[in-house]
A = this chain, B = another copy of it.
Amino acid sequence: MDYQAYFSTNREQHLKELGDLLRIPSISALSEHKGDVLKAAEWIAESLRQAGMEAVAVHPTAGHPVVYGEHLHAPGEPTVLVYGHYDVQPVDPLNLWETPPFEPSIRNGKLYARGATDDKGQVFMHIKAIEAILKQEKELPINIKFCIEGEEEVTSPNLPSFLETNQEKLAADVILISDTALMAPGKPAICIGLRGLCAMEVSVFTANTDLHSGTFGGGVPNALHALVSLLASLHDEQGRVTVEGFYEGVHELSALEREEFVKQQFDEEKLKRDLGLTELYGETGYSFVERTGARPTLELNGVYGGFQGEGTKTVLPKEAHAKITCRLVDDQDPQATIDRIERHLNKHLQPGATLKVRATEKARAFTCNPEDPMLQKAADAYESVYGTRALFTKDGGSIPIVETLSRVLSAPAVMMGFGLPDENLHAPNEHFNLENFDKGLLTIVHYLKSL
């Protein structure tokens, strides 16, 4: 079967259809777009039906619906669950878009629209790949299920319970996700690790009122002093987190894993130039890609207290606040990490100050084994289309739902992304390079047929 010819012939029609999907402003964060989000769900459902999927349904949740569809006619063969999302990010600032976000436009081989790469374009490719196989071969070599949600951009609040409830219906041997990026043009990558996350707000309180620094300075606790001394106590001079038990569950990198990082040939000098930094900084003994890909962190995202205006105000502030997030790896437990940090802070708190810690987000890290045949076959599929084998990479970011999917369904997740790192996800002028649209369709078909 000549899939290249098939996709060439149908390219115009496919892009026309994708354009229709991209025209729906399915912004999940804004309640005024609730109807549009539903419209996009129904569009996906209809598209699945046309591709030949069965039992297609738009399942309501407490928030936006989940679209399900299946094709289960290959007994004894593996079952693939395709996960993706049809909701998109907000579009402000609107004035920075060269063409309107919901009027798709192709320029220089790139399709511009909100959702073009994240994730409507990539979900659409899976539907069209299935449709292609069914049209060409009348049957699928595997069993397939689609689970396409509408709340990924608002941290998937209702998907975990949907997964728990429908565990049997969604059961699969591999979860296939196209919502990430290649390393660079022509350099495919399969993400085998995502860091987990725990987020918290830390507040320190001292007197019941702000005080004059002349009359009281030096004589009473200052909430800012108490806070900065707590925050500074969280790392040692080697950039390691000093919280007792913080590294519990973190596996030391194996020689093989370190080799994979070296293979990325990451250019730290270029990064320094790009960011205007005289030096990088972090835990000693690890490279930048290791620190961001495989090591946990504790970062201050915001600190504030006292006077921020112009000039001087001789005040001793009665309260001070910090926002902290940790990126977690391997088996680190988010709640245990928050508890450990709270214990550390209480232990180091200055006399006369009180502390409040509020946990705001929790997600475990995701990792999978690159030796798994499901992942090795994905690397083969990339190689057959791109002519170069995909690297197995670890990403510093967190996509909490990937860990949930993999854990609840007890299946490896293959993150087979076709975006590029500079395609303005979550920013004005989001776009999708159509070269990867074309190659991605072929890669998906190759992968599904290889299982």
Contacts and interface: CB of A to CB of B under 8 A. Distances in A.
A419 B347 CA distance: 44
A5 interface: no
B199 A312 contact: yes
A219 B292 contact: yes
A304 interface: yes
A18 interface: no
A133 to B, nearest CB: 35
A27 B327 CA distance: 54
A75 interface: no
B292 A397 contact: no
A233 interface: yes
Interface string A301-335: 11111111001111111001101010100000000
A351 B228 contact: no
Interface string A199-218: 10000001111011111111
Interface in A274-315: 275-283, 288-289, 291-292, 295-297, 299-308, 311-315
Contact of A218 (B199, B219, B282): B282
A327 B214 CA distance: 7
Contacts of A396: 214-219
Contact of A213 (B311, B325, B350, B361): B325
B280 A219 contact: yes
Nearest to A214: B397
Given A216-B292, A301-B307, A275 B398 contact: no
B312 A307 contact: no
Given A275-B207, A351-B279, A222 B299 contact: yes
A344 interface: no
Contacts of A316: 299, 301
A417 interface: no
Contacts of A327: 213-214, 217-218
A312 B305 contact: no
Contacts of A228: 227-228, 231-232, 300, 303
Contact of A282 (B213, B220, B229, B314): B220
Contacts of A212: 397
A222 to B, nearest CB: 6
A431 to B, nearest CB: 19
A101 interface: no
Contacts of A126: none
Given A291-B219, A292-B216, A303 B304 contact: yes
Nearest to A315: B301
A352 interface: yes
A354 B277 CA distance: 9
Contacts of A282: 218-220
A360 interface: yes
A412 interface: no
A129 interface: no
Contacts of A300: 222, 224-225, 228, 306, 317
A395 interface: yes
A259 B324 CA distance: 47
A37 B297 CA distance: 58
A89 to B, nearest CB: 14
A39 interface: no
A199 B314 CA distance: 9
Interface string A93-136: 00000000000000000000000000000000000000000000
Given A228-B300, A281-B351, A302-B308, 9 more contacts: A206-B277, A213-B297, A217-B292, A218-B297, A221-B280, A221-B281, A278-B352, A301-B316, A312-B360
Interface of A: 195, 197, 199, 206-209, 211-222, 224-225, 227-229, 231-233, 235, 239, 271, 275-283, 288-289, 291-292, 295-297, 299-308, 311-317, 320-321, 323, 325, 327, 350-354, 360-361, 395-398
